[in-house]
Structure 1
Amino acid sequence: MPAKPKAKKPSHEAFVITGEGESAFWTKIGAVWPHDDGKGFNVDLIALPVGGRLVIRVRKEATG
């Protein structure tokens, strides 16, 4: 039986932002993967915000 291909890492992260400027509070709520055809994204959220702004940002690679 052939080995399963390793799952791709998400390309972006999803956050909900409350507040403005220096006092804004960012809460990570999910991850985003591009479609193979480059025409869309799959978004996997662990929470649904009831307020604030939903922001999608390019994922930073973990260092260490």
Structure 2
Amino acid sequence: MTKSTTNGFIVDGDGDDASWTEIGAAWKHKDSDGMNIVIPPGITVSGKLVVRAAKNPQAVEA
């Protein structure tokens, strides 16, 4: 298990009125040309997916 340094969010709305829901974690590829995004079972994803640097990295199974 490794710590993710990036989190994935579904964002509903824009600007200050946007609602952000964390839905998973992401890991950069060694060559930095992409990422693996892990979304736990039971999470339905639709809409805009935003990936941001994790403020508090957590151990998540990749």
**Percent pairwise identity:** 36
Unaligned segments of structure 2, at least 5 residues: 58-62
Is the CA contact 2:10–2:46 (under 8 Å) kept in the aligned structure 1?
A: no
Structure with more strand by fraction: 2
Give aligned pairs, total: 55
The one-letter code of the counterpart of 1:50 is S
1:10 aligns to 2:7 (yes or no): no
Q: Which has the higher contact order (CA 8 A, sep 6+)?
A: 2
TM-score, normalised by the number of residues in structure 2: 0.71
> Aligned Cα RMSD in Å?
1.7
Pick one of 46, 49, 58 that aligns with 1:54: 49
4+ aligned runs moved over 3 Å, structure 1: 36-39
In 2, distance between residues paired with 1:39 and 1:20? Answer: 28
